[in-house]
Chain A
Amino acid sequence: MSFFRFLRDRIPAVLIYTAVTALTVIFLYATRCGNTAVAVTILLYILSGAIILLWDYFRRRSFYARTISALDELEQKYLISEMLPDADFADGEILCELMTETCRSMYENVAAHKRSSDDFREFIELWVHEIKLPVAALLLMCHNDGGKAAEYREQIKRIDDCIENVLFYTRSENAEKDYIIKDVLLSRAFNAAATKNISALRKRGVSIETDGLDTAVMTDGKWLEYILGQFMSNSLKYFSPDREPEIKVTAEEFPDRTELHFRDNGCGIPQSDLPYIFEKSFTGSNGREGSHSTGMGLYIVHNLCKRLGHSIKADSVQDEYTELIISFGRNDFAKPV
């Protein structure tokens, strides 16, 4: 708070004070007091006025300066009520009370929403486990029954993919830490994702090439499996009809990270769409022209990577290839034992 700003607030008081001083001087002259007495009186008036103003100014300035610097240092600004310095003046005290009250009400509100979103997430997790039972039963029935099994299986796989999307969407949106970072063999995660999608990949006649996957990265195995599954289902959606479909998965090790490259020779992504593919609900020109696209898959993948601390980027040349690259950091604190 600058001094002028402070003074501006006190213009009426200063004016009244000056007027009273002037009236006193006039009064003193009228009662024939000596020049010395008048001079001393004026000096005393000015001195006392200045002291009152400056004392008031400095205690306010220190309160506000401390409050503002506390606010600057805080990452979550709404926690300021915990950091307020003591105010030794009435309006400062009122301000503190108001802020404390307001922040408390906000915490309560936030906590209520957090509870309800946690409840919802828990419900979704439960629901997903629940609905997987009939899906598993149906798959077994198809297998035991033969006949039109393959067609049924395809539809059941679609249902299961939708369920997984819901599960991982809630997981990725939630602040709860429900993953475990440990050493995961890339080949194992890829194998799980590939065997899960074997029917669709076979039906399309995809040839898969892998290289260097027998390396371990620090991640959550189940999440990585889902991410790779998403890549595969994207590739399957956008393979070009003009050439034999291929997927090439390679790992490359650097001193500070391991990069996983997932490349297909599908229709590619136009340069203009490339910066937006990880955004929520972005379908791009491929999605609009081709098969059903919700624009959620890569958004969820991006969120999962962000939460696991991996970076992800995409590279593509239209009508040639699409390549997705996940980079897993390496941490000295988490060396395998």
Chain B
Amino acid sequence: MSHILIIEDDVPIRKELSQLLVNAGYETSAVTDFSEPLPQILSSPADLILLDINLPNVNGEMLLHEIRKELDTPVIMVTSRTNELDEVLSMSYGADDYITKPYNPTILLLRISAVLKRSSAPSKQLTYRGLTVDAAKGTLSGAGGELILTKNEMIIFRTLLDRQGQIVSRDQLMTALWDNEEYINDNALTVNISRLRAKLAEIGCAESIETRKKQGYVLL
């Protein structure tokens, strides 16, 4: 379970953000005293840091600069400053992503999981019921042969696989698709899911995606 450190001075946001992350299955901790934030950050066991720019006493960009001298923990800047200058500055100081407030929580979660995936060691081969998932090639291969998925189907499959056994809402699937520049509408999502189901059945994984009425889908 990944640990996320929240550096945010606005209390309601800090509270809700922490709840969002906990609901999504992360452990969280937060910096609450901003007089000397650096030692707290350096001693934290975080796998990822969410960092605000407007902080009391200290500027988030300078803090990032200091953090980068000691740690290479991935950092996502989360800020209400919508100008290119802050983004360019943050990225040049070594931020891994830059998200502006108010953000779409689903997108924030997607970005966090993307950054975590990138930073974790070249991860173990993704598998599903004995099938090897090759996201780059867009294939699932196993004893029954090789299955070629379209880009959309692969995004859907990966999103479901990431949370295997849990309900993934249509909202989450759509956001994941859009975030990957596949701007499909709800009808197309339904079509894509039934195609994916059929393809999985073809290779011997029948009954793999279950529909939960009004909630979403579960990959069994």
Contact = CB atoms under 8 A, between A and B. Distances in A.
Interface string B61-101: 00000000000000000001111110110000000000001
Contacts of A182: 84, 88
B13 A133 contact: yes
A292 interface: no
Given A139-B103, A144-B23, A202-B174, A133 B80 contact: yes
A134 B178 CA distance: 26
B142 to A, nearest CB: 33
B57 interface: no
Nearest to A214: B181
Identify the interface centre among A143, A164, A207, A209: most chain B CB within 10 Å of its CB. A143
A238 to B, nearest CB: 19
A156 B20 contact: no
A130 B10 CA distance: 10
A97 B107 CA distance: 65
A316 B102 CA distance: 34
A205 interface: yes
B54 A144 contact: no
Contacts of B82: 164, 167, 222
Contacts of A143: 16, 20, 105-106
A137 interface: yes
Interface of A: 128-130, 132-141, 143-144, 156, 160, 164, 167, 178-180, 182, 187, 191, 194-196, 198, 202, 205-210, 220-223
29 contacts: A129-B80, A132-B102, A133-B10, A133-B101, A134-B12, A136-B103, A140-B20, A140-B105, A144-B23, A156-B102, A178-B85, A180-B84, A180-B88, A182-B88, A191-B179, A191-B181, A194-B178, A195-B107, A198-B178, A202-B174, A202-B186, A207-B183, A207-B185, A208-B183, A209-B183, A220-B84, A222-B82, A222-B83, A222-B87
